Amino acid sequence: MKKDIYGVYGASGFGREVMPVVRAQLESSGVSADRVVFIDDNPGEGFVNGHQIVCFHDFMEIDARNRYVSIAIASGEIREELARKCIDSGAIPLNVIAQNVISMDDVEIGEGAILSPFVTITSNVKIGKNFHANIYSYVAHDCVIGDFVTFAPAVRCNGNVVIEDHAYIGTGAIIKQGRPGKPLVIGRGAVIGMGAVVTKDVPPGLTVVGNPARPLQRG
């Protein structure tokens, strides 16, 4: 009988952090670690941390019943391209949720999410496709998060916040709580810098830094 095969797309930094979480998640269901591989467009070394590295074409050629993929790439734009390629090829999105993640009441999370260790999602939260929440991040009550949003480590997203598609929230950033009926909004493709404290809406595509967060001045 054919067995399923599982891939972590991306064998560099974040992928190597995600792999142990995937392995633990699958081993708890009786899946052997040798059924889990790295997928990388530039395979290079044959193995990393005990797992084979294969290109996407070779992954799809492995004899298997089903193929599941977790995309461990920080860029939301690249993640969207790879997600489309995987789905078009028949691969199934894999949600990766660390064993110590806390998820409370009425939480909806889209396909392809990665929730790293020590992440907390509180109550009445809606999250779109391919969300990344790195270690020690949290999402508080009544937040709505779009597709391909990335939280770096230790992001603190307080209640009544809307984060639109492809936003990137840097390490240690704090997002002030909005109000019922008037959420704080971070626009599509906005970038919140490391350690920034966001106290008001951020327009789409804007990069903000500092405390309080202000537009990044380039020059």
Active site residues: 141
In one-letter notation, the amino acid at residue 195 is G
Nearest to 166 by CA among 189, 144, 187, 184: 189
Element (H, E) at 126: strand 125-127
Q: What angle do CA 116, 190, 8 make, to 5 degrees?
A: 30
d(CA 128, CA 145): 6
The label of the residue with tokens 């020690």 reads 136
Nearest to 151 by CA among 143, 25, 178, 212: 143
Structure tokens at 97: 């949720």
